Amino acid sequence: MWIDEAVNSGLSSIVRFARVLRRDIAAVRNAVELPWSNGQAEGQINRLKTIKRAMYGRAGPELLRARMLPLNNSYHHTK
């Protein structure tokens, strides 16, 4: 199996990746083979974290401006 070859490659970053992949191989296999996804849950968590950062003042003016002001397409032409 290629994961075994990667573990024995001697390249530390490849070895580390292969070991983690091997440890979580059941989760990786399920992610590829099964039709279910946790994308909706992750999206909601991301949305809630963004709102929370904005509430506590850590979002920064750029993010707040992007979330509060409507997108003006006249400024985003690509020619």
Does one domain contain both 26 and 43? no
Print the domain residue range for 59: 39-69
pLDDT of residue 22: 92
pTM score of the predicted model = 0.43
Burial of 52 (0-12, 13-18, 19+ CB in 10 A): exposed
User: For residue range 20-74, what is the model confidence (pLDDT) as tens digits?
Assistant: 999 999 998 988 899 988 888 888 888 888 888 777 766 677 776 776 666 655 5
What angle is formed at CA 48 by the lines to CA 63 and CA 57, rounded to 5 degrees? 45
Residue 76 inside a domain? The answer is no
Does one domain contain both 26 and 47? no
What's the distance, CA 6 to chain centroid?
Answer: 24
